[in-house]
Amino acid sequence: MVGELHALVQRTIEQRAVYQDAAEKFGTPQYLIEADLLRHQVARFQAAFAATKQTVRTYYAFKANPTLPILKLVRASGLLADVSSGLELSAALALDFEQIVFSGPGKTDDELTLAIAHADRVVIHVDSFAEVTRLNELASRAGVVMRAGIRLNTAAHGLWTKFGIPLKDLPQFIQLAHGLDHVRLEGVQFHLSWNRQSAGYVETLKTLGPILAAHRPKSGWRFVDIGGGFYPEDDEAAYPWVANGQIAPAEGPPLDWDMSYDLPKVAPIESMAADVVATFRDVIRDVPELWVEPGRYIANPAVHVMLRVVDVKGDALAITDGGTNLLGWERLELEHTPLINLTRPSAKQIRFMVYGSLCTPHDVWGYTCYAEDIRPGDLLITPAHGSYVQTLAQRFIKPVCQTILLETSGSTSRVATAETARDRYPELFPTPVG
């Protein structure tokens, strides 16, 4: 339980001099990208799949964190790009990613046209019968043959109904695609979120095996893309009262809470890769390539949020200079990630309500802190917020803060500045004419 996040806390405390330096140089709040952690995560993921000797192509899911330094590091580490909008596609093209997959429901004509203009580098995962027909028309106008995969819907229930085409419609889809001269079907894609164990991938591959063997496009299948959803090992834990289905009231956790939480067991990426590839070889016939689209696994450990305590009220309530608009939602009211006082660190938690400075009680950074104590001016850090945080950050009351890059050499640089009042309210600051 606590033991596993303990390694993350320990490492963060050991590194505290470099974090303090970045906070002193650039101020707080800040997102701090730690380049080495990102490289390490990419290398470990790549090595896990390379060890299987299977041909695997790894596409980084931009949606997890498309901050420019992250994209540059990912590109330099040799990953390919997984994009889900024209915006992300433009970024992947501008950064010269060699191979790009473009998936997502509701692609517009403009987005498809952009992909078609770069048919040498882009594979489109088509999401519906109507989309493949539209893609064929647009590609035909451009005089190109577009490579495509089929986004499969492997869980056609509830909110997941919106994605892809149901497995049962695959034969009909292939038949339709056979009649389209400007789309070449090469593979299939599915995606399952939050896989802490390999079972979801394994089961889905087993279901797919016989279907893909029975129904093939003219030139055969080239790839099966199993999407993202690989879980990093140091991630959030659940509060017991939330796990019990009882949502935290605005007054905070129960008074008798013993500062414990549930940290679900996550299989190491090496065993996930070994399981997935063993199943792929076992049940998928005559498909040479396995594709993967990790986002969270790559980006999450590499970005931390640093805050300074502005005010302390009573015995155990602190207010910091950054609001949870920086996370995008009231995440830490429901999920625990470690919060560490770098000024007065401790390997043990103390009970302390730590808030941001937004005008809402739901602006919670944590109910505990790894600290001896918390006083005004202290520097706090919450590590491993690299995925679905910078992308979800909101312009609510406070600006979205600056981003700092920490390089291997210990050097730091500001790579994106915080919003100013002029950015937020341009109409109040008209540019003088003439």
Ligand X SMILES: Cc1ncc(COP(=O)(O)O)c(C=O)c1O
Q: How far is the CB of 411 from ligand X (least distance, A)?
A: 29
- Count Cα atoms within 13 angstroms, Cβ side, for 149: 28
Applying CB under 6 A, does 230 fall inside the site for ligand X?
yes
Q: How far is the CB of 18 from ligand X (least distance, A)?
A: 27
Shortest distance in whole angstroms from residue 42 CB to ligand X = 13
Quick one: which of 53, 57, 58, 116 has its CA closest to 89? 116
Q: Closer CB to ligand X, residue 12 or residue 103?
A: 103
Q: Which of residues 61 and 116 has its CB atom nearest to ligand X in the complex?
A: 61
Produce one character per residue of 290-310: b if its CB has 16 or more CB atoms within 10 Å, e if not: bbbbbbbbbbbbbbbbbbbbe
Query: Would you say 188 or 371 has its CB closer to ligand X?
Result: 188
CA angle at 153 for the pair 149 and 158, rounded to the nearest 5°: 150
User: What is the distance between the alpha carbons of residues 37 and 303, in angstroms, rounded to a whole number?
Assistant: 9
- Can you tell me the distance from the alpha carbon of 344 to that of 293, in angstroms, rounded to the nearest whole number? 40
Decide if residue 229 touches ligand X (CB under 6 A): yes
Three-class secondary structure of residue 30 per DSSP:
strand
Q: Which of 147, 191, 304, 331 binds ligand X (CB under 6 A)?
A: 191
Shortest spacing between CB 294 and ligand X, in angstroms: 5
- Applying CB under 6 A, does 323 fall inside the site for ligand X? no
Using CB under 6 A as the binding rule, whether residue 164 contacts ligand X is answered as: no
Q: Can you give the C-alpha Rg of the chain in angstroms?
A: 24
- The window from 65-73, 223-231, 276-284, 390-398 that contacts ligand X (CB under 6 A) reads 223-231
CA-to-CA distance for 353 and 378, rounded, in angstroms? 15
| Binder of ligand X out of 187, 217, 295, 383 (CB under 6 A) | 295
Q: Is 293 in the site for ligand X (CB under 6 A)?
A: yes
Site for ligand X in 370-399 (CB under 6 A): 387
149 part of the interface to ligand X, by CB under 6 A: no
Which two three-digit tokens encode residue 411?
């050097």
Q: Are 238 and 168 in contact (CB under 8 A)?
A: no
Interface residue list for ligand X (CB under 6 A): 61, 63-64, 82, 103, 191, 193, 227-230, 293-297, 387
